[in-house]
Chains A and B, each alone.
Chain A
Amino acid sequence: MNATLPIHVTPEEKRFLLETGFVLRDGDRFEPALVVFEALLELAEEKHVPLVGIGSVRFAQGDFDGAIEAYEEAIGFAPDNALAHAHLGEALAFGKHFEEAGLALDKAIQLDPAGRDGGNMAKMVRRLLESGLLA
């Protein structure tokens, strides 16, 4: 049972909602995507994942500062989460904070050397950062 809402949501339902949020985001339905991720923030044990979702919606809207804020909050909940560090690095890079971006991306790569949980994404963004195309 959720602590604040008198409802029970199964893990499958949470996974379904999370994927729905990403699908809505990718379809440029930003407001419904935010509603889904914010609901998950209330329902889920792992707060960092919906926070990464919220940050990714803000990033897709071009709000890099808002995205950075959400990713930093996610890292506050899960300091060793490579996905959050990789997304933070991407938002910092696009916000032209290149030095901090490099540090965040290196942290993601260090946390997830296998690459499945954000490390690979961080490697790709690092390559883009090094190319100088974002300058």
Chain B
Amino acid sequence: MTGISRTQSDFSYQQISAQPEIPRESGWSKFGRVVGDVAGGVLGKLPIVGSSLSNMGIDPSFSKQEDLIRLQLAIQQQTQTFSTISNINKAKHDAAMTAVRNFK
């Protein structure tokens, strides 16, 4: 018997073929959700900002422009955050594959 078959006998086919477990929220998925919530919160509050300015007698077209700027900033920040997450995950994967190649 080879070592590989002995090791495989340590975990069953059922374990491998089972449906993915429903895990606790991981670090990265939680982080992504929080970032999404923040951006969503900004977007959700935009009409409130606009109507508040309008009630204060400020030109509504100004509030629209401000809304759009806020929206643009929120999107930029979210894009940058997802880009950072993506870069980290790629770097993690590359480092893991280097470890696999050099493993003894």
Contact = CB atoms under 8 A, between A and B. Distances in A.
Nearest to B80: A131
Given A39-B10, A61-B26, A94-B27, A15 B3 contact: no
Interface in B63-104: 81, 84-85, 87-88, 91-92, 94-101, 103-104
Chief secondary structure at chain A's binding surface: helix
Contacts of A35: 10-11, 15
Contact of A62 (B2, B4, B25, B101): B25
B91 A2 contact: no
A70 interface: no
A71 interface: no
B84 A131 contact: yes
Interface string B7-27: 100110001101011011111
B23 A61 contact: yes
A28 B1 contact: no
B95 A117 contact: yes
A130 B52 CA distance: 34
Contacts of A18: 99-100, 103
Interface of A: 2, 5, 7-11, 13-19, 22, 24, 27-32, 35-36, 39, 43-46, 49, 52, 56, 59-64, 83, 86, 90-91, 94, 115-118, 120-121, 123-125, 127-128, 131, 133-134
23 contacts: A2-B3, A5-B3, A5-B6, A7-B1, A13-B2, A14-B103, A31-B21, A32-B11, A35-B10, A35-B11, A56-B96, A60-B26, A62-B24, A83-B96, A83-B98, A83-B99, A86-B95, A121-B88, A121-B92, A128-B84, A128-B85, A133-B35, A134-B31
Given A18-B99, A19-B97, A115-B91, 12 more contacts: A5-B3, A7-B2, A11-B103, A30-B21, A32-B11, A39-B7, A59-B26, A61-B23, A121-B95, A123-B91, A133-B31, A133-B81
